[in-house]
């Protein structure tokens, strides 16, 4: 998996660029999850799944169901931006995006915001008054690393299973 600096995308791009490029990076993580979860991932490309189809397949293969809503909302935001170039990151989009996260995840990213002294935390700005662009940054970084965690967890589990199978084969061969 290629390392990407999502923070730089979120800081340097226009609203359109932020949305499109961040969604693309998250879609790459979904692709990585699928490639790891499938026995023969090379057969996936000819199917031609779109983002939503890939998310649904990843969920069917074990991706946390808690990711379904945030991934879906990000996909909708991306589609709105792709089809209407005048679209801006606004409060309505960010309220929907925020509401798509489970309560536990919201608590975690608010804790991280406090620990990293985000400017709006330092200035005691309540979440409802935080600029939509800042909300988008926090929510996208949270979603990106949440997806990345699941990809890396699956890959690690597969490595351990492979090592376990090798160890069992060696034991079996030694006992004969």
> Does a structural domain hold residue 1?
no
**Pairwise CA distance, residues 161 & 163, whole Å:** 5
The phi and psi torsions of 167 (rounded to 5 degrees) equal -65, -40
**Domains contained in the chain, number:** 1
Backbone angles phi, psi at 64, to 5 degrees: -50, 130
**10 within 8 A of 136, measured Cβ to Cβ:** yes
- Which pLDDT tens digit goes with each residue over 17-54? 999 999 999 999 999 999 999 989 999 989 999 999 99
8 has pLDDT over 90: no
**Structural domain boundaries enclosing 126:** 6-174
Name the DSSP class of 30: H
- The pTM of the full predicted model, rounded to 2 decimals, is 0.87
- Condensed to tens digits (0 to 9), the pLDDT of residues 112-136 reads 999 999 999 999 999 999 999 999 9
Q: Is residue 18 part of a domain?
A: yes
**Cβ atoms 122, 115 nearer than 8 A:** no
Measured CA to CA in angstroms, residue 51 lies from 60, 75, 124, 146, 167 at distances of 14, 7, 37, 17, 38
């Amino acid at each position: 998996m290629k390392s990407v600096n999502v923070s730089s995308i979120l800081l340097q791009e226009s609203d359109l660029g932020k949305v499109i490029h961040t969604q693309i990076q998250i879609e790459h993580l979904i692709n990585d999850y699928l490639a790891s979860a499938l026995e023969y991932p090379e057969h996936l490309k000819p199917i031609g799944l779109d983002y939503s189809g890939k998310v649904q397949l990843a969920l069917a293969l074990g991706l946390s169901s808690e990711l379904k809503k945030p991934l879906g909302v990000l996909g909708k935001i991306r589609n709105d931006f792709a089809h209407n170039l005048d679209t801006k990151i606004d409060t309505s989009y960010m309220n929907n995006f925020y509401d798509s996260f489970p309560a536990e995840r919201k608590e975690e990213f608010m804790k991280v915001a406090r620990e990293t002294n985000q400017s709006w935390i330092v200035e005691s700005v309540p979440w409802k008054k935080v600029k939509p662009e800042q909300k988008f940054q926090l929510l996208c970084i949270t979603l990106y690393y949440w997806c990345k965690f699941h990809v890396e967890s699956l890959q690690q589990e597969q490595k351990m299973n492979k090592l376990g199978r090798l160890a069992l084969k060696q034991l079996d061969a030694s006992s004969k």
